[in-house]
Chains A and B, each alone.
Chain A
Amino acid sequence: MARMKFLCDSERCIECNGCVTACKNANETEWGIQRRRVVTLDDGEVGKEVSISVACMHCSDAPCMAVCPTDCFYPTEDGLILHNKDACIGCGYCLYACPFGAPQFPKQGAFGARGKMDKCTFCAGGPESDPVLEEQKYGANRLREGKLPLCAEMCSTKALLAGDAQQVADIFRERVVYRGHRNSAWGSVEHEAAESEQLAQQAADLAYDATQSV
């Protein structure tokens, strides 16, 4: 089985928020719910600004799943973390545990009234046999149709990649090899040509391993 993963290439992300809009559109999420967001660090500082598109990372040892009082999360064969909204009580614990701020709630009312949690499903829908109901509750199930997440598909610079971890890693590795050492991971210092070639390879290997390992 494939292990699905996202990868956001910060060298390419231009903070256009296309992925955010694409996600909204594909999944028709409730008002106020944004499954994906772009975070820009050092905004406006030339040479330092970095943008990253973040949604649920479908963690291997998912913190949300570990703290959920109703145990409504479940891992799929593709390594995705999905959840059952029927059992969700809107306690917010998943949001308090999630490192990436992925879980979203329709409201934040008195007496802890939050509504049902919603988050990125990797465009894989949810536990509902009726496709119409599934779409209403969980948004699109593009994976079932043989398609990849719309956020990544719509990314104008192909900074955001989504799919089988191995393939995503291969694409990224190729990129890093072509880009060379100056923009590569961990290589912010100038080096001799031979050395830089070696560094680029090293960085590529690292990135490859990073996306490979589950």
Chain B
Amino acid sequence: MERYWSVRDAKTWLMLLLVVLMALPATVLAQSADARREAFQAMPGTTPEFWRDAVEGVSGRTQSNSPGADTLIMVEGERWREIRNQWISPGGAIALGGSLLAITLFYLLVGQVKLENPRTGKKIERWTRWDRTIHWYVAVLFIILGVTGLSILYAKWFLMPILPTSVWAAWMTAAKNIHNYLGPLFAIGVLAMILKWLKHNFFNMTDLKWFLKGGGIVGKAHPSAGYLNGGEKVWYWVIVTVGLTVVVSGLVLDFPNFGQSRETMQLFLIIHAVASLILMAAAFGHIYIGTLGTEGAFEGMKTGYVDESWAKQHHDLWYDAVKKKTGS
């Protein structure tokens, strides 16, 4: 077996480090210990000035046309690796797992928000055909992009060990292509959704009171709400901010034909991964509230109509307004 580390190695490296330390600012040292180690082995016999330049990522001339080929050592690579593997991967798992756990606990402790009054059988239209089309278009693409994106980030830890190599390769190729081709379609849907629903989503005093009462989820309080309550508006603005961040960073990653540098891609991969993980963790909450968490909510987005007793309970001001308008 190959010996990868020993006391003698440690002593050697300590000595090397001492020498290199004399020529290098400590910041660079912390950033790219690995690259320098490899380079030092492969390119000895150079001057300290050369070393300082090389490990700071100096560029020279080369006949190669590959992107970034004129840079001898790209020091940012190590940092990206560390951020992605040491922070984003575990952080994302904690965020997603934590979100699921919190929802489960909430469900077990508080349970479903039931209809307080029996159904009246009378329906009011809440979401038009257009609203529902946009919602489900975005939702389906979101789930597909989420599953394929998570495969790119995590599947090697749990799918790869159980799949034969050919199946594994086929799945990952599919995941990457599905993600990269459907991404721009998702972008169009999100934009349409943001524009279509903007008018419902400006905060007002009713929302403030709604927040002060904790949305009425806990306890007996039942705060007033218009067409959308404060919580729903927050979710809308999360889509606007975090969602658009995911979309924009995704589009930058999706079109390398514009010649983005490696450093640009690293940055946008970090932004894309962090934003999409936050969005997914938040989406778990949204999905829970819209399905299992609230009796009668799902049928609104499914059929477009809600029962009057649901409307009165959850969106009393909207209910009143609708009643006034229809004059009944």
Contact = CB atoms under 8 A, between A and B. Distances in A.
Nearest to A13: B43
A71 B255 CA distance: 23
A127 B47 CA distance: 39
Contacts of A57: 38-39, 41-42
B44 A92 contact: no
Interface stretch (B167-175, B210-218, B223-231, B240-248): B167-175
A23 to B, nearest CB: 11
B3 interface: yes
B179 to A, nearest CB: 9
B60 A41 contact: yes
Given A60-B4, A112-B253, A43 B60 contact: yes
Interface residues of A, number: 76
A37 B65 CA distance: 10
A108 B177 CA distance: 14
Interface in A83-98: 84, 86-87, 89-93, 95-98
A86 B171 CA distance: 12
B254 A41 contact: no
Interface in B86-131: none
Interface string A73-114: 000010100001011011111011111110010001111111
Interface string B40-73: 1111111111100110001011111111111111
Interface string A10-34: 1100000100100000000000101
A62 to B, nearest CB: 9
Contacts of A212: 12
Interface string A132-153: 0000000000000000000000
A214 B262 contact: no
B81 A206 contact: no
A76 to B, nearest CB: 10
B290 to A, nearest CB: 31
Nearest to B73: A99
A39 B254 contact: no
Interface residues of B, number: 79
A126 B65 CA distance: 25
A7 B44 contact: yes
B35 A100 contact: yes
Contacts, number: 215
Nearest to A211: B41
B172 A96 contact: no
B41 A210 contact: yes
A102 B96 CA distance: 34
B63 A37 contact: yes
Given A5-B41, A69-B155, A101-B71, A63 B173 contact: no
A1 interface: yes
A112 B254 contact: yes
Contact of B269 (A71, A87, A96): A96
A71 B156 contact: yes
B121 to A, nearest CB: 50
Contact of B80 (A42, A97, A186, A188): A97
A96 B80 CA distance: 8
A38 B64 CA distance: 8
A213 B13 contact: yes
Nearest to A67: B81
B45 A1 contact: no
A84 B47 contact: no
Given A10-B50, A99-B74, A111-B254, A210 B44 contact: yes
B259 interface: yes
Nearest to A72: B169
A96 B266 contact: yes
A96 B77 contact: yes
Nearest 9 pairs of A and B residues by beta carbon: A99-B35, A37-B64, A41-B60, A207-B44, A87-B169, A89-B176, A71-B156, A57-B38, A209-B12
